[in-house]
Structure 1
């Protein structure tokens, strides 16, 4: 892994751990701050809302600034934010610290992906983005379990202190290893960034991201009762199966980068089609523990196969001003996270069983597939129209050349 991308990966590991570790510490946080566990759970929601709201604000505010100082500043924001989380004297101060910390999340991954892509040749850009996002997948395998164990042993504040230490390493690595000219735009400025939002293909790419994420969280939010009540898997085994899911995500992230460098939109379309099948298979085989374990691993792989190509798709469709669009795409993933969890919960309230809940994920993935096919059709139509225009221009110039 190139050292500048390693620096970005360390930061993404820190950010991923910050986002998800709170879920494993809810009982400890609730008991220490004197709130209910559902109230503590709102710390997850608050973070997600911070990502969605903060992404465009930070991206627009920093549009004219050099990329490297922005990345250093965003990484430093995570250090400061997590320090305030560790020191928070009450629930509301912790909530404010979480939301403020989350403001930099979308912008870091959006701008970081543009910088990572700029560090390698064009045919390796998606793989570079995948390497950066490897820190996020490793956070789910290593950071979250280790942070949870640390919090259970020494108190939840110790976990945030550990994240602060990792964040300091990330800030230092970015300052020392990332080139100063990485990711700089040819036509910078806020106006060029905002104009990108007038492109339909940018919005379609973000819509696909939201739908893919919603399909995941409509099911994954309720994975524990599915595994225990439908598959008959013991509660202690659930942790190991979730680690297997995380391992699949890590494998899928690397595969997704390489496939996207080869064929970007076919990778998106093929992965969405596979997700429809895997969700459906999950529903049909969830009564078998062995089959469920195998399906969960494949599901984890496919979940992150699609992430690098979707981020690369947004960067490509945004053209010369990709930072705002790439940042908003991170917000789209988080919108999908929240809406997917709500859709899954609503389906359960309406009478869908845990066993059939994966069909809801399949339906959302199918909608994403249809949007991706529409996007590809528009690409081909635009390509065909360019060819016709070029041919018409060539024919119009031939008499002049002959004369």
Structure 2
């Protein structure tokens, strides 16, 4: 695996830490900037919306840039806005930096995925994707808890400085390892790329991605009340539960990267079915400590094990959109990551109990399986038609005098 792929994973680690670390910093930000907890929470929402909207826009904006230039510009902006965020005394400026960071992160993700798969042969594309996505799982395991520790000891600004510091080595390494020159497919017309991205099979795969990620982040966002008010754990054990989910995610990404290139369909179908069953089991068995902890690990493993499979599938199906496919895949991921917690919050607000978000995750996975079945049927139909045509031609040939 080229060194560049691992450097991309390092940059994604820093960006993933930034995306999720505010969960442990909102109280400190609210107190320091004299705003409400709800206002501090909007910093997370602003980042998520910026990621979902910004991914296709930034991919379109930078489609003719050399990939090295695009990666360095996006990562440089990401570092700069974190420095500005660490220095500002203004909530408005901090909110603006979060939106800008999300746009830069979205643009980087879109280009990074296409860069990673372009640097390896067809047999290793899934593994390259897993390395890049693995940066997010490491952020959950290491980055987010570390940010919480820094925020607890030296204030929330220290976590922002740390994210900027971790990103700097990635900037230097990318400048030295990513080849220069324009992307080989930069001359492809935007109209042709959009046509490739709006094919039914591509749209169905992107929808499945959004549903799976929505299920994942719906429960992940509300693990704290589930663990403390249903499982019965003390508040001090919550970081350990989150880290357990992150550890499972890292294992899932690592294993899928080694298996996915050989058996992609089996991994994806089995993983999604197991995810659906797992969320239902967690909703039913969350009151039993051993069951809850085991399923938190397993569900993290399955969720992030199927993620690279879906991304690889989307990129393969959208080969006619070589500069925009990564942006649309990133957008689908973040649409799910935004919609899932929102739906889980609606279920909690309706008084359905602390297990309700897990049932929402189960329902989202059922929908994902249904869409995947439709997509598979759609893909097999042309093959059946082609097979029937070939058979008829052969029969005609046999009957000719």
* 1:134-173 equivalence runs, <5 A: 134-173=134-173
Instruction: State the alpha-carbon separation in 2 of the partners of residues 8 and 176 from structure 1.
Output: 12
How big is each residue's C-alpha offset from its partner over 1:69-120, in whole Å with a ceiling of 9 and x where there is no partner? Answer: 2112111121112122112221010000110110122232222112111222
2:344 is matched with: 344
**Distance in 2 between the 1:108 and 1:369 partners?**
30
Please give the alpha-carbon distance, in whole angstroms, between the structure 1 residues aligned to 2:245 and 2:328. Answer: 26
Q: CA deviation at 1:196?
A: 2.0
Q: How many residues align?
A: 401
- Structure 1's 218 and 82: CA in aligned 2 closer, same or farther, altered over 3 A? same
Q: Which runs of 5+ in 2 are unaligned?
A: none
1:392 deviates by 7.1
Distance 1:10 1:388, change over 3 A: same
* 2:86 aligned partner: 86
The DSSP-based 3-state class of the residue aligned with 2:260 is helix
Q: 1:182 to 1:146 in 2, by over 3 A?
A: farther
What residue is the counterpart of 1:313 in the other structure?
Answer: 313
Q: How far, CA to CA, are the matches of 1:222 and 1:110 in structure 2?
A: 28
Q: Give SS of 1:369's match.
A: helix
CA distance in 2, matches of 1:156, 1:63: 35
Partner Cα separation in structure 2 for residue 270 and residue 219 of structure 1: 20
Say if 1:218 and 1:60 are closer, same or farther in 2 by CA, change over 3 A: same
Query: Deviation of residue 252 (structure 1)?
Result: 0.6
Which piece of structure 1 moves more, 130-139 or 188-197? 188-197
CA change 1:121–1:355 in 2 (3 A) is same
Once the 2 structures are TM-superposed, how far is the Cα of residue 387 of structure 1 from its aligned partner? 4.4
The RMSD of aligned alpha carbons is 2.3
Cα shift at 1:187: 5.5
TM-score (norm 1): 0.93
Deviation at 1:396, TM superposition (A): 9.3
For residues 112-131 of structure 1, what are the structure 2 equivalents within 5 Å? Answer: 112-131=112-131
Q: Which residue of 1 aligns with 2:226?
A: 226
Aligned to 1:266: 266
Asked if the contact 2:65–2:182 (Cα under 8 Å) also holds between the matched residues in 1, the reply is no
Partner of 1:208: 208
Q: Which residue of 1 aligns with 2:51?
A: 51
- Residue 60 of structure 1 contacts residue 193 of structure 1 at CA under 8 Å; is this kept in 2? no
Shift of 1:395: 8.8
The 3 A distance-change label for structure 1 pair 174 and 390 is farther
Shift in Å at residue 317 of structure 1? 0.9
Match of 1:102 in 2: 102
Q: How does 1:240-319 map to 2 (within 5 A)?
A: 240-319=240-319
Question: Residue deviations 1:258-301, cap 9 Å, x none?
Answer: 33212323322221111111011111211111111111110110
